[in-house]
Amino acid sequence: MAVKESARVDGSPSAVLASVRDNRARAEAAQLAVLFDALDWADMHSPEAAHPDEWATVPGTEGELSLTGEGAPRILEFCIAEFAAAGGMSTDAGRHLIADAVELRYRLPRIWRRLAAGQVPVWRARLVSQRTRLLSRDAVAWVDRQLAPFVAKIGPIQAQRAVDAAVIRFDPGHAEERRGSARYAKVQPEVGPSGGVLVEAMLDAPDAFDLELAISREADLRATLGDAADLDVRRARALGDLARRQLGLELTAETVDGRAISIPPRPATSLYFHLPSDTAGLGDVPFTLGNRTGGVLSLETVIDWLRLSGSSVHLRPVIDLDSTRATTKYAPTLLQREHVFLRDETCVFPHCNRPARPPGHRSGVDADHIKAYDDDGPTSTDNLAALCRHHHRHKTFTAWTYSSPEPGVYLWTSPHGLSFVRTPHGTHEVVRPPPLDSG
């Protein structure tokens, strides 16, 4: 909601400071109110409180979710999406918000009482709840007793220490499992404007130190061979060198019992250039790598990438996203799916950002018939949309409905009549004016 100029304070320092304090208090109160809303929503949509088929239009298709640990109520699967959409958030974010509210109310009662009394910022209480969901009942009660007196002041490190201590104290056999599950290595899907991609990992200490040594040696070797870039740049390039060296190894190996296993080759990657119809040639042009968010690259940069990877280049037909492709069959063709996924980029359910991947990539996203094929809905790109499997279930088994007034624009209606427009620029709720008073 835009702030009107008339709502601003005068220019005196004391007035501005008073306004800051007042607005901060209002914002905190609003966050707490939304947390209470989430709890109310969970309570009224537990399997015990609601009929199992309240949301599902096809009986037997709705599951029950345990969002937190033992002692907390379950919730009906399909109710989360509408609550999240009403709150302007993705279904996953809505699920986490409801889970935090349930965890605090039913498993962290001391912290909940302080939160409800306005003695604890919402974000600090949620910080604890997000770390205790997998704890046993005894362990989470211990954390509640330990942290409640000073929860208004703790940060992530203190909260995690309390959780780790509870695991060791009440479930030592689970400590090693938690340690292993905390390890990850992730390559972010977004390609930045400079062509860079963020890589992050949490490794066991010996693995991390060995990786550090390998990167340092490779960066020093690059300097010896004439790479004049800064050390950080050489270290980043060294990771690519190590990866390509690994990919160049023999594609078969032997297991302990002597059986041969096959190591799959590197999959093909599609580089899409997004060219308007009046483009004269390839200069600096927008791009995406596969379905990943891209930026602007020069042709020289593309050539350098291809040289580094040793890739062979296959030119494919231009996909005109303003055209329409149709088939008489139910299943969309590979070219239709690629067209739809490039146009929509993500699942088109309100606020969902799950990437739509072109054919050939592992994907949990479908090319869905907006108007059902059995109801004479054509298999054409104008009647297809990218839907992730989770939201495809909502469209198929619940009262969520949608239409497409034009390609790439989707009008959704929720089970309780809320309306949302999904475009390439995001999701916007359609607020309908109240009916006129006939009297």
Q: What is the pLDDT of residues 25-57, one digit of tens each?
A: 999 999 999 999 999 999 999 887 765 456 667
CA atoms within 13 A on the CB side of 78: 27
> Which of the two residues, 393 and 357, has the higher pLDDT score?
393
Q: Residue 429: is its pLDDT beyond 80? A: yes
On the question of pLDDT at 364 being above 80, the answer is no
- Among candidates 291, 293, 408, which has minimal Cα distance to 357? 291
User: How do strand 326-327 and strand 379-380 relate by DSSP bridges?
Assistant: antiparallel
Other CB atoms within 10 A of residue 352 CB: 22
Q: Identify the pLDDT of residue 320.
A: 83
Look up residue 430 and give its DSSP letter. Answer: E
3-state secondary structure (DSSP) of residue 117: coil
Give the three-class secondary structure for 121: coil
Go through 187-215 and write b for each residue having 16 or more CB atoms within 10 A of its CB, e for each that does not: eeeebeeebeeeeeeeeeeeeeeeeeeeb
Residue with tokens 């907390």: 72
Q: What is the pTM of this model?
A: 0.77
pLDDT band at 291 (very low <50, low <70, confident <90, very high): very low
Q: Are 357 and 293 in contact (CB under 8 A)?
A: no
- Residue 321's pLDDT is 83
Mean pLDDT of 296-324: 70
User: SS3 of 415, please?
Assistant: coil
Predicted confidence (pLDDT) per residue in 255-269, tens digit:
556 666 555 555 566
Torsion angles phi and psi, residue 189, rounded to 5:
-75, -20
Three-state DSSP class for residue 178 = helix
Query: Which pLDDT score is estimated for 279?
Result: 56
What are the φ/ψ torsions at residue 202 (nearest 5 degrees)? -125, 110
DSSP string, 22-62: HHHHHHHHHHHHHHHHHHHHHHHTSTTTS-TTSSBSSTT--
Which one is predicted more confidently, 274 or 17?
17
Q: Which residue has the tokens 């979710």?
A: 65
Does residue 283 register a pLDDT over 70? no
* Alpha-carbon separation of residue 380 from 46, 396, 400, 406, 432 (angstroms): 40, 19, 22, 13, 31
Residues 59-116: pLDDT tens digits? Answer: 777 888 999 988 999 998 899 999 999 999 999 999 999 999 999 999 999 999 999 9
67: tokens are 């969002």
Half-sphere exposure of 215 (CA within 13 A, CB side): 15
- Looking at residues 12-33, what average pLDDT do you find? 91
> Is 358 a residue whose pLDDT tops 50?
yes
Q: What's the mean per-residue pLDDT of the chain?
A: 82
pLDDT at 352 over 90: yes
Q: What is the mean pLDDT of residues 312-329?
A: 81
CA distance 124 to 151: 7
SS in 3 state form for 300-366?
Answer: HHHHHHHHHHCCCCCCCCCCCCCCCCEECCCCCCHHHHHHHHHHHCECCCCCCCCECCCCCCCCCEE
